[in-house]
């Protein structure tokens, strides 16, 4: 008698995810965009901040001839800088900020939520009231105020020097530019762990009543082992979905702050501050805001589709 081969949970989830066509297309698009952004110094035909003083007009439309016989594929901005180059570098910075903020915020949130759900009592009460208080604060006005204070005063977060150096290499920015990006990421992380904490708290409240947790306690397993080795791994499904949706939200939020000149500052390019710079010329040059706007919208939609696909794939109510 032949034994039936058991399919692992990973392949079950992967097969469900790949049934969602838009999620698969979005994943391929994001991966391609990440590769292109990483290779920005190789793909870009002009230096990031080079001003083409020979251009007949600034801004100039796509296809205008540049120096040394090169063509500005997407045109040039009001300072004569190549927009194709700046879109690539801007994508590198915007995507990296969103991914780092999401990873750190979700990690903080799931840890705090797991602690609240496991210990309950006064620990849960304090953490829950803190989360409710922070969620009651209007997010954008607070971000605008904090960003204005932190970024305008050149504040620095107390981080080891190697962190600044590593991020400078990733962003391809100077130490001063990198410090402002780190401050912005710190601000975004402060307000983005709340959703993950609430989700993980609910999962742990449910899981901690199950028999395997009682058995672990009976065998003398420490609280830390129960939380980090058993409860958190078993409660990660909604966190994965929340994280995939949060990336798109962080990109939009960072772009909004940069658009209002309270995020990443010029000459460091992001899609948000490129939109801000295009605002003054959009009526004379309507194509200008489309250069950073189209990839911004497409990336946000792509992460939403990926989150939708992951939600379907991780739903235990679905059949194999």
58 occurs within a structural domain: no
Closest C-alpha to 182, from 167, 161, 194, 193: 167
For residue range 235-273, list pLDDT tens digits in order.
888 898 889 889 988 998 888 888 887 788 888 888 988
Longest dimension (CA), the chain: 80
Phi-psi region of 87 (alpha: psi -120 to 50; beta: other; left: phi over 0): alpha
For residue range 205-229, list pLDDT tens digits in order.
888 888 888 888 888 888 888 888 8
19 occurs within a structural domain: no
35 occurs within a structural domain: no
50 occurs within a structural domain: no
184 occurs within a structural domain: yes
CATH number where 182 lies:
1.10.3720.10
How many domains in the chain? 1
List the chain pLDDT tens, one digit each, 320 residues. 444 556 677 787 788 888 888 999 999 999 999 999 989 888 888 888 888 877 777 787 887 877 767 788 888 888 888 899 999 999 999 999 999 999 999 999 999 999 999 988 899 999 999 999 988 888 778 877 877 777 677 777 777 888 888 888 888 888 888 888 888 888 889 889 999 999 999 989 888 888 888 888 888 888 888 888 888 888 888 898 889 889 988 998 888 888 887 788 888 888 988 888 888 888 888 888 999 999 999 999 999 999 888 888 877 555 55
pTM comes to 0.88
- Contacts of 233 by beta carbon, 8 Å cutoff, 6+ apart: none
Closest C-alpha to 234, from 11, 19, 23, 9: 9
The pLDDT value given to residue 113: 93
pLDDT, mean over the chain: 85
136 occurs within a structural domain: yes
Provide the residue range defining the domain that includes 134.
Answer: 87-313
Q: Exposed, middle or buried: residue 172 (CB in 10 Å: 0-12, 13-18, 19+)?
A: middle
288 occurs within a structural domain: yes
The pLDDT value given to residue 58: 79
HEC string of 51-102?
A: ECCCCCCCCECCCEECHHHCEECCCECCCCEEHHHHHHHHHHHHHHHHHHHH
168 occurs within a structural domain: yes
């Amino acid at each position: 008698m032949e034994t039936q081969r058991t399919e692992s949970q990973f392949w079950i989830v992967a097969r469900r995810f790949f049934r969602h066509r838009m999620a698969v297309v979005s994943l391929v698009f994001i991966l391609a965009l990440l590769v292109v952004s990483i290779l920005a110094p190789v793909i870009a035909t002009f230096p990031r901040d080079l001003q083409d003083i020979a251009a007949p007009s600034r801004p100039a439309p796509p296809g205008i001839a540049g120096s040394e016989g090169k063509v500005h594929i997407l045109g040039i901005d009001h300072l004569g800088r190549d927009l194709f180059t700046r879109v690539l570098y801007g994508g590198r910075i915007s995507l990296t900020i969103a991914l780092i903020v999401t990873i750190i915020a979700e990690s903080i949130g799931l840890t705090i939520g797991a602690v609240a759900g496991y210990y309950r009592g006064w620990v849960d009460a304090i953490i829950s009231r803190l989360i409710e208080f922070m969620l009651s604060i209007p997010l954008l006005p607070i971000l605008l105020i904090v960003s204005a204070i932190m970024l305008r005063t050149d504040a620095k977060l107390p981080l080891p020097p190697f962190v600044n150096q590593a991020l400078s290499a990733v962003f391809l920015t100077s130490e001063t530019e990198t410090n402002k990006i780190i401050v912005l990421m710190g601000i975004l992380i402060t307000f983005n762990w709340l959703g993950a904490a609430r989700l993980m708290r609910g999962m742990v409240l449910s899981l901690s009543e199950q028999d395997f947790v009682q058995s672990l306690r009976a065998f003398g397993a420490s609280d830390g082992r129960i939380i980090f080795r058993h409860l958190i791994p078993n409660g990660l499904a909604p966190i994965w979905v929340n994280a995939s949706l949060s990336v798109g939200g962080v990109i939009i939020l960072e772009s909004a702050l940069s658009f209002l000149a309270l995020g990443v500052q010029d000459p460091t390019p992001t899609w948000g501050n490129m939109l801000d710079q295009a605002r003054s010329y959009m009526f004379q040059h309507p194509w200008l805001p489309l250069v950073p706007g189209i990839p911004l919208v497409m990336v946000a939609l792509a992460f939403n589709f990926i989150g939708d696909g992951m939600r379907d794939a991780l739903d235990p109510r679905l059949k194999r």
